[in-house]
Amino acid sequence: MNVLNRLIGILFFLIILILAIGTAGTITGLLTGHTVDQVYSYGPLHQSLNDLHHVQPHNTRIIAGAGAVLIAVLALLFLALELTPPRRERALTLSETIEGETTIGYDKLQKLAERASLDVAEVETAECSVRGDDGSVRVRCTATVNRFADATTVSAQVQAAIKQQLEHTLGRPVERVDVRTEPQRAGTRPRVR
């Protein structure tokens, strides 16, 4: 959504919020026609506010008041959503020098690690997470392997593959790679490579 759309959205919800609060205030008697006249004196508006305040039967007033409050809450919610800045993706800064900085999102590294895992024979599925604290890169991966494969060997191979791939791509050492292997469930179709 571009800036203009956001501004229009904010203005729209702000107007709805003000109208809803005004309606609720008029129905409950907190906002009277006399008070509004002090700010802006306009006959038809004064009449409308009086009509709204004395709307009959009583149940209609309660329903209108509750509706106004509900709309106000919704408008406030949407306004808050519009005003909340978009979340920046978590990213790893590879270098930060006078030349400039180079940054890559962790989700890309996660994809890369999963791809490296899947390149290992006997690995059926892989789910990885990559974290970086104080410049170091740490990977945690869960791989589903063929039931008949040696889990220890495959685990070591996955560990090596991830480490090599990430170090090759990032040009920096990967501090730690934790791999957990799970045997593939019986009856599950093997992955077609």
Question: Site residues (CB under 8 A) for other proteins?
Answer: 2, 86-89, 91, 94-95, 98-105, 108, 111-112, 115, 168-171
Distance CA 77, CA 73 (A): 6
- Of the two residues 2 and 56, which places its CB atom closer to other proteins in the complex? 2
Rounded to a whole number of angstroms, the minimum distance from the CB of residue 88 to other proteins is 5
Backbone angle region of 85, left / alpha / beta, with phi > 0 → left and psi within -120 to 50 → alpha: beta
CB–CB of 58/20 below 8 Å? no
Rounded to a whole number of angstroms, the minimum distance from the CB of residue 190 to other proteins is 22
- Of the two residues 89 and 182, which places its CB atom closer to other proteins in the complex? 89
CB–CB of 123/154 below 8 Å? yes
CB–CB of 76/19 below 8 Å? no
Rounded to a whole number of angstroms, the minimum distance from the CB of residue 148 to other proteins is 28
Rounded to a whole number of angstroms, the minimum distance from the CB of residue 7 to other proteins is 15
- Of the two residues 24 and 109, which places its CB atom closer to other proteins in the complex? 109
**Strand 123-133, strand 174-183: pairing:** unpaired
Question: How distant, in Å, are the alpha carbons of 17, 38, 60 from that of 27?
Answer: 15, 19, 10
* Torsion sign across C-alpha atoms 141, 142, 146, 148: positive
- Of the two residues 44 and 86, which places its CB atom closer to other proteins in the complex? 86
Rounded to a whole number of angstroms, the minimum distance from the CB of residue 108 to other proteins is 5
- Of the two residues 119 and 175, which places its CB atom closer to other proteins in the complex? 119
Of 151, 179, 178, 174, the closest CA to residue 163 belongs to 174
Rounded to a whole number of angstroms, the minimum distance from the CB of residue 91 to other proteins is 8
- Of the two residues 59 and 99, which places its CB atom closer to other proteins in the complex? 99
